[in-house]
């Protein structure tokens, strides 16, 4: 399994492309902006995108969904708790001074424990609310894609619609209970590990 990171948009979102190097089956996580940049990468490696997954539905994480779906035909996956903010992402972006192409309704709604297959690899969906109602992480192959639930040394905000400090504590605990060598691929900023976050993330003190 190969994981590539393409940083997109003015808010510097990490769009991850995980793919099987033999079958070239691919999953795109959080295509937040700059659709053409993402598409060029996919075409250059002749990848076959089977799924587009949004860890949550804030506009900076879904801004390229519509264009990418049109190009690849891949279904769009979210957790249903974020349906409302997903369907109002275009309005949300305007309030922040940005513009995105509002995507159509998602195709697939996942729940905690569901699996997403990428070639020979399997990833488990973890429902991790706190930053948003429908926040999810994707765990497998020794890595976890965390969206805005946890960052290197920090965590996501809870002052947006659907945010909850109590829920974020539970979600954070779930992530740092994973094996220490697990690599964390967050929605913004550098890759880290569970071990590092147990030792240095300020939010540990909140538990």
**pLDDT attached to residue 207:** 84
Location of structure tokens 């993330």: 201
Share of the chain above pLDDT 90, in %: 99
Distance CA 76, CA 148 (A): 18
pLDDT at 191 over 90: yes
Distance CA(79)–CA(108), nearest Å, equals 8
Section 136-162 average pLDDT: 97
User: What pLDDT, on a 0 to 100 scale, did the predictor assign at position 192?
Assistant: 98
Per the CATH hierarchy, to which homologous superfamily does domain 2-206 belong?
Ribonuclease Z/Hydroxyacylglutathione hydrolase-like (3.60.15.10)
Q: Measured between alpha carbons, how far is 143 from 125 in angstroms, rounded to an integer?
A: 12
Q: Read off the pLDDT band of 85 (50, 70, 90).
A: very high
Q: State the Cα angle at 148 between 146 and 150, rounded to 5°.
A: 65
81 contacts 130 by C-beta, under 8 angstroms: no
Query: If residue 173 lies in a helix (H) or strand (E), which one and from where to where?
Result: helix 165-176
* pLDDT tens digit sequence for 98-126: 999 999 999 999 999 999 999 999 999 99
- The answer to whether the Cα torsion of 192, 198, 202, 207 is positive or negative is positive
User: 76-79 and 25-29 as β-strands: parallel, antiparallel, unpaired?
Assistant: unpaired
Domain residue ranges in the chain: 2-206
In whole angstroms, give the CA distance from residue 143 to residue 36. Answer: 27
Rg of the chain over CA atoms, in angstroms? 16
Mean pLDDT computed over 164-174: 98
């Amino acid at each position: 399994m190969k994981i590539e990171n393409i940083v997109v948009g003015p808010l510097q979102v990490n769009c991850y492309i995980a793919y099987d190097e033999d079958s070239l089956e691919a999953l795109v996580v959080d295509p937040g902006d700059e659709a053409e940049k993402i598409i060029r990468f996919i075409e250059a490696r002749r990848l076959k995108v089977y799924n587009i997954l949004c860890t949550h539905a804030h506009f900076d994480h879904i801004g390229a969904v519509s264009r990418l779906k049109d190009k690849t035909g891949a279904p769009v996956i979210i957790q249903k708790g974020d349906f409302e903010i997903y369907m109002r992402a275009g309005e949300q972006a305007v309030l922040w001074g940005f513009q995105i192409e509002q995507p159509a309704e998602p195709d697939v709604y996942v729940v905690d424990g569901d699996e997403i297959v990428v070639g020979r690899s399997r990833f488990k969906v973890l429902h991790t609310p706190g930053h948003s109602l429908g926040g999810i992480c994707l765990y497998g192959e020794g890595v976890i894609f965390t969206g805005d639930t946890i960052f290197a040394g920090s965590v996501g905000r809870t002052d947006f619609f659907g945010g909850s400090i109590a829920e974020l504590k539970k979600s954070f605990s779930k992530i740092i209970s994973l094996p220490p060598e697990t690599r964390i691929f967050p929605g913004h900023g550098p890759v880290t590990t569970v071990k590092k976050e147990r030792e240095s993330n300020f939010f540990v003190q909140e538990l």
